[in-house]
Structure 1
Amino acid sequence: MADSAEGDNVVQYLGFLVLALIALIAGLVIHSFIIGVNVTDWWQGRSVTPVDHIVTSLGISRMCTQCAITLYFILLGVFWRNRDSRVTFTIGTVYSLLISANIWLTSLFSIVLCLKISNFHTRLFLYLRGMIAHRTVYFIGAAVLLSAVNILIILLLVITKVSSGETYNTTITDLMTNCTNIDSVYPVTIGAFFPLLFYYIPSVLLFTSLYHHTTKMKMSSNLSINLETYYSVMKFVSITFIYNTVYFICFFSDIFLYHAYCQTHDWLLIVLGFLPVLHSSYLIYRTAKLRSQMSKVIQDVTNLLFQKKDAETRENIEVVVL
């Protein structure tokens, strides 16, 4: 019976590992494409917008997160009987840092979109639009720094708990990976609450602004106004809102289910690995520059394959003639 259960665990682990590798390969292709296009534009002196900076940073963060998830599953096979090893603990810490950075960058992306697209004309709104537009790189650095500070607070709480003598013969690794240590949940929750707030408020404001603007334009007597662009932006905001909501739910579920049932839920890590790939693919589809470059890449690959096939066909014909 024990052998059968262990065999089922091995099969389940291999399935998760295969899915993680698939998500990693797809993520490396999609995210590296976004990063490559924007970095190439910057290198060649073309215009790079604040949104491009944030999308590039998101691509780097998402790609590193997927690498951490895949490395976790690989190490899980190496340390099969000892999940709470120092190596897996280190990977978990890096993964938490990357997830936190991803959440902060997503919030910054929402804020910049709201400031860029919304038609508010208050003095505070115009000031924020000008300030953030010219300091996007600094805000990206601040997002990463806040993520690092949040993880550092968790580590300091654990070190303080070990140093104060509250636990006997317990290492930092054991305390951090112990599912009964609910103290680590509070900093994670608090650290994610503020970026979530900064994400949802601009998203709702942006959608509300676009909705009221299109309503006024439909009520006007000018029938030549094309509202398709506004509807397209509202659709983009809605789909991105749904994606981030699902992503946040999976992230918090992974944390609380672990502490509630003292079990890791690896399928949630797989979901968290696939979701950014889907959203980045949607970003490529919705961004004219990225969509155009992707079409060129696909066309070049198609031409290369057909040229190779035509060359092989001609060689076969020459062999038959000879």
Structure 2
Amino acid sequence: MIPNQLTVFFMTIYLLESLTIIVQSSLIVAVLSREWVQVKRLSPVDMILISLGVCRFCLQWSSVLHNFCSYFNPDNELWYIGIIWEFTNTLAFWLTSLLAVVYCVKVSSFTYAIFLWLRWRILRLVPWLLLGSLMISCVTIIDSALRVVFIKSQLISRMQLPGNNTETETLISFLEKNYEHPLLAMSFIPFLLFLTSTILLIASLCQHLRQIRHHDTGHSNSSMKAHATALRFLAFFLIFFTSYFLTIIIFSTYNLTHKSYSFWASETIIYATVSIHLTSLMLSSPALKRVLKDSVSSSPHGISLIILVLFTLTY
């Protein structure tokens, strides 16, 4: 089928955003992997960032393949690509929440017993937490796959019976809504963990900033600037990841078809927030930030331009 002009416009923007996300994810994995080989060790935060980069890379490719194949070949069975998207999306939520928890425990100045215990344990537990996030996502995807099989079996048995097409469409709508609810619930759990950790970290930094202003030491100006920069980054991080979660929730409540321009508009909004969120993640790692800055002056002009654009989005 031939798309209209508005659909083509949103398709183009979506494709450009997807390419940007794929490049960003590849840079995260490539740069941190090279750092790992050179230094022979990797910080827990960088472990999470590499895992998140791989996850986002697979997530975006599955999104592109599923969306364009469903548009140009709607009769083709692509449920397995949708399952890959659901798996990587759930894993991305858990990895992002894990990153927020690590930042909160590592940076916050709270002296409660639970924070002191976590601060002592959390960095050693990161590899196990990564494995746990992977296992939870696998369990979720097994449940999703079983639901897909159930939906298809119900539809096949319904198609073989004589009856009204309206009843069949009602059954399809009912099954799709009941299929999406568990997926949204599983995304809400890591998002709530992310939200709690980020708000606690912002509260801790604000409290520390007030203490610095109260004591007014000689190093207060540099400390205040560092805290203000950290607060801006956290606010940026919170706003765009929350926007990503909310847009997925909002647009998943509407059964938008791939043929409508509204579907491609929603995809454009969702992955715009992902691209900006990935930019903030890239700048959260000192190793990644240092290597990228060096690459701006030493890389070929094309790569330098890409990296320069990524930094410009944040500053």
By how many angstroms is 1:239 displaced?
0.7
Aligned counterpart in structure 2 of residue 245 of structure 1, from 239, 242, 247: 242
Of structures 1 and 2, the larger Rg is shown by: 1
TM-fit CA distance, 1:41: 1.5
Which amino acid is 1:209 matched to?
Answer: S
Unmatched 5+ stretches in structure 1: 1-5, 306-322
**Are residue 42 (structure 1) and residue 39 (structure 2) matched?**
no
**2:158 aligns to what SS in structure 1?**
coil
Partner of 1:73: 67
Q: 1:14 to 1:250 in 2, by over 3 A?
A: same
Q: Is the 8 A contact 1:69 1:269 kept in 2?
A: no
Residue in structure 1 matching 2:137, options 128, 136, 147? 147
Q: How many residues align?
A: 290
User: Tell me, what secondary structure is at the counterpart of 2:248?
Assistant: helix
Q: Aligned in 2, Cα 1:86/1:166: closer, same or farther, shift over 3 Å?
A: closer
Amino acid at match of 2:277: H
> Are the counterparts in 1 of residues 93 and 190 from structure 2 also a CA contact under 8 Å?
yes
The farther-off stretch of 192-201 and 157-166 is 157-166
How far, CA to CA, are the matches of 1:215 and 1:64 in structure 2? 43
- Stretch moving more, 286-295 or 106-115: 286-295
Instruction: Point out where structure 2 has 5 or more consecutive residues left out of the alignment.
Output: 161-167, 304-315
Select between 9-18 and 228-237 the one with higher mean Cα deviation.
9-18
Distance 1:217 1:18, change over 3 A: same
Conserved 8 A contact 2:52-2:92: yes
Does residue 224 of structure 2 align to residue 227 of structure 1? Answer: yes
Residue 308 of structure 1 is matched in structure 2 by none
Which stretch of structure 1 is more off in the superposition, 132-141 or 106-115?
132-141
Q: TM-score, normalised by structure 2?
A: 0.81
State the AA in 2 paired with 1:210. Answer: L
Q: d(CA) in 2 for partners of 1:273 and 1:41?
A: 28
Cα deviation digits, residues 170-195 of structure 1 (max 9, x gap): 8xxx99x9333221132112212211
CA distance in 2, matches of 1:16, 1:155: 30
> What does residue 180 of structure 1 align with?
174
Q: CA RMSD in A?
A: 3.1
Which AA in structure 1 matches 2:60?
Answer: Q
Shift of the alpha carbon at 1:303?
7.4
- Does the CA-based 8 Å contact 1:23-1:66 persist in structure 2? no
Quote the offset at 1:103 in angstroms. Answer: 0.8
Greater Cα shift, 287-296 or 196-205 = 287-296
Aligned to 1:131: 121
Q: Which has the higher contact order (CA 8 A, sep 6+)?
A: 2
User: What TM-score comes out, normalization by structure 1 length?
Assistant: 0.79
CA contact (8 A) 1:62 1:276 kept: no
